[in-house]
Structure 1
Amino acid sequence: MEIPPFPKPPSLEAALALQRQLAQGVVLEGSLEGVRLLAALDASHRRGRPLVAVAVLYHRERGPLFVGKGLVPEESLFPYIPGLLSFREAPAYLEALRALPEAPEALLVDGQGIAHPRGLGIASHLGVHLNLPSVGVAKSLLFGRPAGPLPQAAGSAVPLLAPDGRPLGYAYRSRTGVKPLYVSPGHRVGLEAALAFVRSLPTRYRLPEPLRLAHLEAGRALRALD
């Protein structure tokens, strides 16, 4: 899998300008119905340690196949600034993806897609950078608001709307009674198709299983540094 280098902006202003520019290239059309091989991405960091990212290569019928890992030393990290997470985490994600034995057909990312103040959360940023279909599944709300109350039943979803009323994705209840997830398309996938894809994944706990495995692997990788 050919992975282009990830540019590190020299300033906050340059990062914001690049986000706005790349957001223009986001495509909100496409279906993931035929996707069988995906990479689930999560990262972990603790002060005084490198940032660790993992990519779990996951087959829809066969389950997890391989785990790729990437590290970025703390001194090389882009500053932690809400809304600019991709500049901090993406270099480690790209290293993890390079370690995979074969290229995924799509990305499932722990983070935002277009549900972002400038329309370019980390799932969108990685999708545009790699020209791959991508979906963001976030554990907390960054931008927008649910259109109404979210029922407690498993599989419930309500649209997530921008302040101007534009649809951004969905607040989604993966299991009865658990806290909602926020699903938004990243790149090359439609709004409803992104939700349908996440709903179709096995979900034993709150997170879809590929992302749950990525979350566990990222925690293990960080602890291994000790």
Structure 2
Amino acid sequence: MGTQARTRRHAAWRRLYNPPMTALIPDWTGDTEALRAEQEALARQVVLRDSFVRPLRTVAGFDVGFEDDGVTTRAAAVLLDADSLAVLDRQVARLPTRMPYVPGLLSFRELPALLAALALLPTAPDLALIDGQGIAHPRRLGVAAHFGVISGLPSIGVAKSVLVGESRMALHDMRGAFTPLRDGREQIGWLLRSKRGCLPLVVSPGHRVAMASAPELVMRFTTAYRLPEPTRLADRLASRRAPDADSDD
């Protein structure tokens, strides 16, 4: 897709993703079964093959925090050059929190603000890294998969802990080592040692990224820290920490 076409498409996204976005994200009614059914329906739309621009030109990291004792959802988006990892843009979107935390339904809580943050970026990223699960989710629709299906963007989930599944193989302490994460017989992601001596990340494709490609892509954007640079910076912006404060994350 050419630059002008991508710009026009993103302009349409800006109009679409402005709040309240009720057509995209259901209002909270307390009906958790309906939301689980919607997750199962959306999970069937997930594409687990590489379908992104090559070479990648931009990558964006996304994360969510909360303000005012959870009343406000604060989503951060950081756009980077895919080669140099130079920051091209930072944006924060704040929206009223639409629903309480319900295990397994986190994406419905976080997605409105994430989409609003996406709409603030000057251009759509070629790849999105989301702090959270991709398909490594009980119904195969974590926040990164949900984000990818709704936005249409290639996405990968980069989580700090396992939500579902287990690894049956020992993970080497070498940086860049990874081992499959399985739920029964199904592979749903990877445990990735992004930094020696640190706990592994849970990496799983969200949308338009193949299972085999996910850990390689995450390591491409990982520097001296445990988290890849896009989500590391988004995490700091979402939590209002200094973007370059010394940390082992």
TM-score > 0.5 by shorter chain: yes
Structure 1 residues 132-178: Cα deviation after superposition (integer angstroms, max 9, x where no partner): 11000000100111121211111110001112x11111001101110
Contact 2:194 2:222 in 1 (8 A): no
Moved more, 18-27 or 140-149: 140-149
Aligned mates of 2:237, 2:132 — CA distance in 1: 16
Aligned mates of 2:44, 2:71 — CA distance in 1: 35
Moved more, 39-48 or 135-144: 39-48
Contact 1:155 1:199 in 2 (8 A): yes
For 1:171, the equivalent position in structure 2 comes to: 191
For 2:106, the equivalent position in structure 1 comes to: 85
For 1:207, the equivalent position in structure 2 comes to: 227
Contact 1:69 1:97 in 2 (8 A): no
Among 96, 100, 108, the alignment partner of 1:73 is: 96
- 1:184-195 matched pairs, under 5 angstroms: 184-195=204-215
Among 41, 66, 77, the alignment partner of 1:55 is: 77
Contact 1:31 1:193 in 2 (8 A): no
Among 27, 45, 59, the alignment partner of 2:47 is: 27
**Cα distance, 1:49 vs. partner?**
4.3
> Matched residue of 1:120: which SS?
coil
Distance 1:146 1:168, change over 3 A: same
> Matched residue of 1:217: which SS?
helix
Among 151, 157, 175, the alignment partner of 1:154 is: 175
Q: Which amino acid aligns with 1:18?
A: E
Aligned mates of 2:168, 2:70 — CA distance in 1: 41
For 2:159, the equivalent position in structure 1 comes to: 138
Aligned mates of 2:150, 2:70 — CA distance in 1: 29
For 1:110, the equivalent position in structure 2 comes to: 131
For 1:224, the equivalent position in structure 2 comes to: none
Question: Between Structure 1 and Structure 2, how many residues are aligned?
Answer: 218
Structure 1: runs of 5 or more not aligned: 222-226
Moved more, 111-120 or 193-202: 193-202
> Matched residue of 1:167: which SS?
strand
> Matched residue of 2:224: which SS?
coil
Contact 1:111 1:138 in 2 (8 A): yes
Q: TM-score, normalised by structure 2?
A: 0.83
Structure 2: runs of 5 or more not aligned: 1-9, 242-249
Contact 1:22 1:125 in 2 (8 A): yes
Q: Which amino acid aligns with 2:209?
A: V
Q: Which amino acid aligns with 1:209?
A: E
Report sequence identity in percent: 44
CA RMSD in angstroms, aligned pairs only: 1.5
**Cα distance, 1:213 vs. partner?**
0.7
- 1:89-104 matched pairs, under 5 angstroms: 89-104=110-125
Q: Which amino acid aligns with 1:178?
A: C
**Cα distance, 1:35 vs. partner?**
1.6
